[in-house]
Structure 1
Amino acid sequence: MAHLVAIPKLGLTMTDCTLVDWAKQDGDRVEQGETLYAVETDKITSDIEADDSGYLRRFAEVDTMHEVGAVVGGLFATREEALAASGPGAKAPPGPRDEPAEPAAASASMPTPPPGKAGRVRVSPLARRIASAAGIDPASLEGSGAHGAVLRRDVDTEIARRESSARATAQPAAASAQPAAADTRRALAGMRKAIAQKMVQSLTSTAQMTGFARVDMAEAVRLRQACIAAEADLGVRVSYTDIVLKACAQALASMPQINASIIGDEIITWADVNVGLAVALDDGLIVPVIRNADRKSIAEIAAERIDLAARARSGRLSREDLDGGTFSLSNFGSYGGDFETPILNAPQSALLGIGAIEDEPVVRDGQIVIRPMMMLSLTFDHRLIDGAVAGRFRGRVREILENPYSMMATLR
């Protein structure tokens, strides 16, 4: 009997994914624990290992979407059984992708050549068709899929680059003869599609409300200056994001009702304080998680933030880096924003946005003075968190930032 290869559930909120690559061909021998295929979901690509051994028959093509639990292949006792099998959506048994059928005398365990200059570049069928129509050699592209596979989004990126380059180098014609600018279109796919789906799902499945608070950051500024002065000793440069993240973690530890989620008909109060940090990428946004942030020093948080952000921008985050967040932080002040109404990273019930720190006139002891002020924007799920509770949480974060001595005690 065949062992069915099904799409696993990789995260709490995962419902579907795109199959972006097969590491094996039909009829290949697969050993338990070997990488079998790759899927793209929630903005990252994950390699899936075989949980049994056998000879592979693929029932699904790359660049196709599948729900969790969908059968995409099977592992059989013999190569002959595999090649003769059919499954959901399966066609007549083909040879290796984009190659002539394998000769009968060929070894069943012949390895697939690795991608690169010495081997064949992996290209998904859809990407190959689009590239051919656009006059692009897919072998010239740098693939973003598993094992360097060239996917549709890589071809779309190259098409957009060429169009932009053509517009930039074209000589301007006379105004009276200049044709209307052509519209450009590209598929809503990959990371952009995942973001679009999550944002709509978040807004339609929760009762979101945003409240604001102004924070005097004078003492937090002094704390950061102290951290910078001790940079050689700490081994890392501390940012304001690290300080605010630590303040949030301390506040969450003292107010567990914020560190909670509604999942189905249950309210789950999370035992760990795992803070997700929004990282802006060229083509979207991703939220890696700093785990047990309440038990880490500011320097430890800074080192982990730097590592996660670097790996996010180079596409090297793992599924574990993104799973398990119980609260999120978004620093829109880093690109000049004062305040926004951020959207929840569901199923989390709260997200704190922080604005830019700017000098403002304020009244202290009856006198007008200039202080470095920052706006907090707390979006919360009103189904679970009442306005008064959200207000106390904002107040607690503000209290810690304005009197950050408890954070100084755990500087290293």
Structure 2
Amino acid sequence: MAVEVMMPKLGMAMKEGTVSIWNKEVGDQVGKGEPIASVNSEKIEIDVESPAEGTLLQITVPEGEGVPPGTVICYIGSPGEKIVSGQATQVQKSVVDNEAAKKEKTETILPTKTAEDRVKISPVARKMAEAGNLDIDKIQGTGPGGRITKEDVQEALKNSRTLQTEQKKEIDETPVKPLEETQQITVSGIRKVIARRMFDSLQNTAQLTINIKVDVTDLIALQKQTAETVQNRYDNKLTVTDYIARAVVISLQQHQQMNSALIEDKIHLFKSVHLGIAVALEKGLVVPVIVNADKCTLIDLSRSLKVMAQKAKQGQLNNEEMQGSTFTISNLGGYGVEYFTPVLNPPETGILGVGAVYDTPTYMGEKLERRSILPLSLTFDHRVIDGAPAAAFLQKVKQYLEKPITMLL
């Protein structure tokens, strides 16, 4: 019997996955564990490996098509094997119906839906329509039962742009100076996933960023004082980032509302802290996750951060290591940046931006001293938490970093 290959679930909030590219065609031989397609969600892109050896009998989800997790995207079996009747899912039938309906579309003007009609539209299509300021009542759906698909919205956006261009030409008859020739780069793969995810994050959350200065003079002194002992005893080096991560984890345990996620109109408060660390790569940004970071000692946390960062840079992270985070840290200090506005990693409530440490003269009582200052930027979802409790969390992080010995007790 043919083996079904499913759309994987790439995160707890994932509602739809998209096939980015098929590496194989129908009729090709595939080996067990061989990558046959790339799929992406709003968060990451991964390769789907064949669960069995055989022939790619049928592709049920074409490139660019979005389907819910658990949907059959293809079948693997013996050459010439027939797929058992009823084995294909209803989603497969919907895909076929969509393609057939598109081919049969004509220039006939169809009646606009009345206000009493219930508009059937997929969640992705609705987001696209809202972003493009389109009236969904005027979009003709080609999906099953007249359901509006993302292809219908894309066609409507195309027609809207064409109309706007024609209207602009009528108004302005002045010849337009041709643009200089440019290099064009197609937005695809992880870059496309990041672009869509960041856009959706800003469109669908109420983001606010607050900043604070932290005096880390004592922390840096402690780091230097313990460096030799840590190296000899644990064969490790503690960095300022390690201390920041530890301070964040402890503070999240005391401010649980910041360690939360808004999912389907419900705020989920997490008891454990699963810490995401943003890592910049050549192709984009990935966020490996330290699971149960609240159960780690400072040394354990430091080691985990280094291992995950190394795996990210070598492209060795698997899907499980990039999902489930409850709070994220993004560090741009290595680039000399002080304050910045980090964008939320949905469905998380908060993300902490870490800037570069700088020295400045500061009055300590009546005495002027040279002190090391760390800029921190906290972005939070105002739908979940208000400014005062968010500021209290950031103040708690500051307290731990300014009195680092308290993180070791």
TM-score over 0.5 (shorter chain): yes
8 Å CA contact 1:55–1:77 kept in 2: the answer is: yes
The residue aligned with 2:346 is 346
Equivalent in the alignment of 2:309: 309
Distance in 1, matches of 2:352 and 2:247, equals 11
Measure how far apart 1:358 and its partner are: 0.8
| Aligned amino acid, residue 248 of structure 1 | V
In structure 2, C-alpha distance between the alignment counterparts of 1:192 and 1:27, rounded to whole Å: 29
Residues 188 and 78 (structure 1 numbering): CA distance in 2 closer, same or farther, change over 3 Å?
closer
CA distance in 2, matches of 1:328, 1:12: 16
1:405 aligns with 405
Q: Quick one: structure 1 residues 250 and 72, their matched pair in 2 at CA, closer, same or farther if it must change by over 3 Å? A: same
SS at match of 1:317: coil
Superposed, which structure 2 residues align to 1:182-193 within 5 Å?
182-193=181-192
| Matched residue SS, 1:271 | coil
Report SS of the residue matched to 1:246.
helix
Matches within 5 A, 1:81-230: 81=82, 182-230=181-229
Alpha-carbon distance between aligned partners in 2 of 1:79 and 1:337, rounded to the nearest angstrom: 60
Aligned AA for 2:275? Answer: V
Q: How far is 1:65 from its partner? A: 4.2
* 1:242 corresponding residue in structure 2: 242
Structure 1 residues 305, 235: closer, same or farther in 2, change over 3 A? Answer: same
| Residue in structure 2 matched with residue 26 of structure 1 by the alignment | 27
TM norm structure 1: 0.69
Confirm or deny: 8 A CA contact 1:329 1:352 kept in the other structure: yes
Q: Structure 2 counterpart of 1:183, which letter?
A: T
Q: Give distance in 1, aligned partners of 2:45 and 2:8.
A: 15
C-alpha change, 1:54 and 1:190, in structure 2 (3 Å) is: closer
User: Which runs of structure 1 show a deviation greater than 4 angstroms over 4 or more consecutive aligned residues?
Assistant: 1-4, 21-25, 27-31, 52-56, 60-65, 75-78, 82-90
Alpha-carbon distance change, 326 to 26 in structure 1, aligned in 2, over 3 angstroms? same
Aligned to 1:133: none
Alignment check: 8 A CA contact 1:360 1:373 kept: yes
Q: Is the 8 A contact 1:273 1:291 kept in 2?
A: yes
Deviation at 1:264, TM superposition (A): 0.5
Query: 1:367 deviation in Å?
Result: 2.4
CA shift in 2, pair 1:63/1:315, >3 Å: farther
Counterpart mapping for 1:62-73 below 5 A: 64-69=64-69, 70-73=71-74
The one-character-per-residue Cα deviations of 1:335-390 (angstroms, maximum 9, x if unpaired) are: 10010011111110001111111111222113222210111101000111111101
- Spell out the pairing of 1:253-402 with structure 2 (5 A cutoff): 253-402=253-402
For structure 1, which segment, 344-353 or 14-23, has the greater mean C-alpha deviation from structure 2 after superposition?
14-23
- What is the Cα deviation at residue 36 of structure 1? 6.8
* 1:79 corresponds to: 80
Question: 1: CA distance between counterparts of 2:30 and 2:258?
Answer: 50
Tell me if structure 2 keeps the 8 A contact 1:30–1:56: no
Label 1:246 to 1:188 Cα distance change in 2 as closer, same or farther (>3 A).
same
Q: Judge conservation of contact 2:252–2:273 (CA < 8 Å) in 1.
A: yes
In the aligned structure 2, how far is the partner of 1:378 from the partner of 1:219?
A: 22
The aligned counterpart of 1:59 is: 59
Say whether the 8 Å CA contact 1:24–1:36 is kept in structure 2.
Answer: no
How far, CA to CA, are the matches of 1:83 and 1:386 in structure 2? Answer: 55
Q: Distance in 2 between matches of 1:27 and 1:188?
A: 28
Cα distance per residue 1:290-349 (max 9 Å; x no partner): 122222122222211111111111211111111110000011112100100111111100
Output the CA distance in 1 between the equivalents of 2:204 and 2:337: 27
> Would the aligned equivalents of 1:288 and 1:322 in 2 still touch at CA under 8 Å?
yes
- Give the number of equivalent residue pairs: 317
The CA distance in 2 between the partners of 1:339 and 1:317, in whole Å, is 29
Secondary structure of the 1:80 match is coil
CA contact (8 A) 1:20 1:39 kept: yes
- In structure 2, the residue matched to 1:93 is none
Q: Distance in 1 between matches of 2:200 and 2:333?
A: 26
Tell me the amino acid that sits aligned with residue 350 of structure 2. Answer: A
The question of whether the paired residues in 1 share the 8 Å contact of 2:57 and 2:81 is answered with no
* Residue equivalent to 1:17: 18
Say if 2:26 and 2:59, in contact at 8 Å, map to a contact too: no
Alpha-carbon distance in structure 2 between the residues aligned to 1:400 and 1:383: 27
In structure 2, what is the equivalent of residue 45 of structure 1? 46
Q: Secondary structure of 1:303's partner?
A: helix
Q: CA deviation at 1:61?
A: 8.0
Q: CA shift at 1:77, angstroms?
A: 7.9
Q: What is the aligned partner in structure 2 of residue 114 from structure 1?
A: none
2:202–2:343 contact (8 Å) kept in structure 1: yes
Distance 2:358 2:380 in 1: 25
Q: Secondary structure at the match of 2:82?
A: helix
The one-letter amino acid paired with 1:244 is I
Shift in Å, 1:210: 0.6
Please tell me the residue identity of whatever aligns with 1:214: K
Partners of 1:212 and 1:345 in 2: CA distance: 18
**CA–CA distance in 1 between the matches of 2:387 and 2:201?**
19
Residue 229 of structure 1: SS of its match in structure 2? Answer: helix
* Percent identity (aligned): 30
Per the normalisation by structure 2, the TM-score is 0.70
Do 1:75 and 1:82's aligned partners in 2 also have CA atoms closer than 8 Å?
Answer: no
Cα distance change of structure 1 residues 38 and 224 upon mapping to structure 2, 3 Å threshold: farther
* CA positional deviation for 1:211: 0.7
The answer to whether the 8 A contact 1:354-1:375 is kept is yes
For residues 252 and 80 of structure 2, the distance between their equivalents in structure 1, rounded to whole angstroms, comes to 56
Specify the code of the residue in structure 1 equivalent to 2:394: R
